[in-house]
């Protein structure tokens, strides 16, 4: 008898195009409010896509966005999705002091819970910015009342990554659960297999194979992520950016929505909290 299909975690990092970390050298934080904000229309498109596929997901949402679009947050919750935290202002955890990080994650949690009228249990660091040098962040998250984090990408990357960390969910400081973004282990290294720019760059068949391998070979749920701006081919182009940043940000955006529809049809998807927090036990790893 074949094994039952594994439910994977579908996650959306709710931020706008001008808040991307790679654009920080080109767009001043003080200019954010003057920019055309497109996140609401893009999230509504995502909500419609998920509704058509009868799929629930986790929305890691910036407090900055929630303050300006409270009705959007309420629509996310009303549709049955998990509301989780992406911090307040998309500042990398690795750039903040312990005190500033605590203020950021506590502020975001309070804003989201007040607007959404639900408990916020999950957190994802902007740009997967928890790593070997700031593992104290796990203690801070536990103290702030979070139950889980999805802030480590166990790959090598020029902006983030902790390639030697566990590939699947494990307990860290204060009983907090860390659920890494999914990788495939091949030829002695971890390969990215779970969304964002990689999903846009690779042929869809490659992404489908990578996620399927994690389900088949590892018998684990995959964690997939993307951003609302990745379905927005009409977003304003940021002038003056370097060639690498331009390629990474804009590659295959017009194809993204169609690929997401295929992904929803090819795998079973659900919310982070319902997939991972209900587990009876996961290994503990000292941070």
Q: Report, as an integer, the average pLDDT of 12-28.
A: 95
* pLDDT of 148 over the 70 cut: yes
Closest CA to 68 of 18, 139, 22: 18
Q: Check if the beta carbon of residue 155 is closer than 8 Å to that of residue 190.
A: yes
What pLDDT does residue 97 have? 97
What pLDDT does residue 163 have? 74
CATH among 3.40.50.620, 3.40.50.300, 3.20.20.370, 3.90.79.10 for 7-277? 3.20.20.370
146 half-sphere exposure, CB direction, 13 A CA radius: 37
Q: Report, as an integer, the average pLDDT of 148-161.
A: 77
* pLDDT of 3 over the 80 cut: no
Instruction: For residue 158, name the pLDDT band (cuts at 50, 70, 90).
Output: low
What pLDDT does residue 283 have? 62
Alpha carbons 236 and 217: distance in angstroms, whole number: 42
The mean-pLDDT minimum among 74-83, 115-124, 249-258, 276-285 falls in: 276-285
Rounded to two decimals, the pTM is 0.94
Which helix (H) or strand (E) segment holds residue 72: the answer is helix 70-78
The percent of residues above 70 in pLDDT, for the chain, comes to 93
Break the chain into its structural domains and give their ranges.
7-277
The percent of residues above 90 in pLDDT, for the chain, comes to 82
Alpha carbons 56 and 122: distance in angstroms, whole number: 15
Average of per-residue pLDDT values in the chain: 92
* pLDDT of 2 over the 50 cut: no
């Amino acid at each position: 008898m074949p094994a039952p299909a594994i439910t994977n975690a579908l996650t959306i990092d709710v931020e706008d195009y001008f808040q991307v970390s790679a654009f920080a050298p080109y767009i001043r934080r003080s200019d954010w409010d003057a920019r055309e904000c497109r996140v609401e229309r893009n999230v509504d498109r995502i909500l419609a896509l998920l509704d058509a596929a009868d799929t629930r997901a986790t929305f890691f949402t910036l407090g900055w966005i929630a303050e300006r679009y409270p009705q959007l947050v309420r629509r996310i919750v009303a549709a049955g999705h998990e509301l989780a935290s992406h911090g307040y202002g998309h500042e990398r955890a690795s750039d903040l002091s312990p005190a500033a990080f605590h203020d950021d994650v506590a502020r975001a949690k309070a804003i989201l819970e007040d607007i959404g009228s639900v408990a916020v249990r999950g957190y994802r660091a902007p740009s997967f910015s928890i790593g070997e040098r700031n593992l104290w962040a796990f203690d801070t998250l536990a103290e702030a009342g979070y139950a889980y984090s999805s802030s480590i990408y166990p790959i090598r990357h020029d902006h983030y990554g902790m390639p030697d960390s566990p590939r699947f969910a494990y307990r860290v400081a204060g009983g907090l659960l860390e659920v890494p973004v999914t990788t495939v282990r091949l030829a002695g290294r971890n390969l990215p297999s779970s969304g964002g720019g990689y999903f846009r760059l690779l042929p869809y068949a490659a992404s489908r194979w990578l996620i399927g391998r994690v389900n088949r070979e590892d018998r684990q749920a995959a964690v997939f992520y993307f951003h609302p701006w990745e379905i927005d081919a009409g977003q304003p182009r940021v002038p003056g950016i370097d060639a690498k940043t331009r390629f990474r940000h804009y590659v295959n955006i017009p194809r993204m929505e169609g690929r997401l529809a295929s992904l929803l049809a090819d795998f079973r998807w659900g919310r982070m909290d319902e997939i991972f927090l209900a587990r009876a036990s996961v290994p503990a790893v000292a941070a």
